[in-house]
Amino acid sequence: MSSARLRHAASRARPLSPLFAGKKLEGLPIIVVFIALIAVFTALAPHVFLRWPIYDSFLVTIPPLLIISLGLTLVIAAGEIDLSFPAVIQFSGFLFAFCSLQLGLPWLGLIAALLGGALVGFVNGILVAVVGVPSIIITIGTSFFWSGVATVLCGGLSYALPGLENTPIANIFAGKLLGVPAEAFWALGVAVLGWFVLNRHRFGEHLLFIGDSRSVAEVLGINVRRERIKLFTLMGVITGFASFMLTIQNLNYFATQGQGTLLSALAGVFIGGSSVFGGSATMVGSVFGALIIGMLEAGIVATGVAGFWVEVIVGLVFIVAVVLHIAVESPASLDQLRRRLAVRGPRPDQATKEEIP
Partner 1 sequence: MTSGQALPQPAYTNIVEAEKLCVSFGPVQALTDIDLAIGKNDIVGLIGDNGAGKSTLIKALTGVVRPSSGRLYIRDQPVDLGRYSVRKAHALRFETVYQEKSLGEKQPLWRNFFAGRQIVNRFGFINVREQRRIANEILQSHLGFRGVGIDADSTVANLSGGERQGIAIGRAMHFDADLIILDEPTTALAIKEVQKVLDFVRWIKESGRAAIYIEHNLAHVHALADRLVVLDRGRIAASVRPAELSLDALTRFLIDLQQPKAGIAA
**Contact residues for partner 1, defined by CB under 8 A:** 1-3, 5-16, 23, 196, 200-203, 205-206, 208-209, 212-213, 215-223, 275, 279-280
- Integer Cα distance of 147 and 199 in angstroms: 33
- Rounded to the nearest whole angstrom, what is the least distance from the CB of residue 179 to partner 1 in the complex? 34
Residue 254 DSSP one-character state: -
- Rounded to the nearest whole angstrom, what is the least distance from the CB of residue 45 to partner 1 in the complex? 41
Contact 65, 294 (CB under 8 A): yes
- CA-based diameter of the chain, in Å? 87
Nearer to partner 1 by Cβ, of 10 and 50: the residue is: 10
Contact 261, 63 (CB under 8 A): no
Contact 318, 299 (CB under 8 A): no
DSSP, collapsed to helix, strand or coil, labels residue 180 as strand
**Residue among 107, 111, 53, 95 nearest 237 (CA):** 111
Nearer to partner 1 by Cβ, of 14 and 353: the residue is: 14
Residue 77 DSSP one-character state: H
- Rounded to the nearest whole angstrom, what is the least distance from the CB of residue 274 to partner 1 in the complex? 12
Nearer to partner 1 by Cβ, of 15 and 18: the residue is: 15
- Integer Cα distance of 283 and 262 in angstroms: 18
Nearer to partner 1 by Cβ, of 81 and 265: the residue is: 81
Angle between helix 52-77 and 262-272 (nearest 10) = 80
Nearer to partner 1 by Cβ, of 221 and 348: the residue is: 221
- Rounded to the nearest whole angstrom, what is the least distance from the CB of residue 121 to partner 1 in the complex? 20
**Residue among 74, 69, 81 nearest 203 (CA):** 74
- Rounded to the nearest whole angstrom, what is the least distance from the CB of residue 335 to partner 1 in the complex? 17
DSSP, collapsed to helix, strand or coil, labels residue 252 as strand
Residue 16 DSSP one-character state: P
- Rounded to the nearest whole angstrom, what is the least distance from the CB of residue 1 to partner 1 in the complex? 4
Nearer to partner 1 by Cβ, of 71 and 79: the residue is: 79
Nearer to partner 1 by Cβ, of 3 and 166: the residue is: 3
- Rounded to the nearest whole angstrom, what is the least distance from the CB of residue 222 to partner 1 in the complex? 5
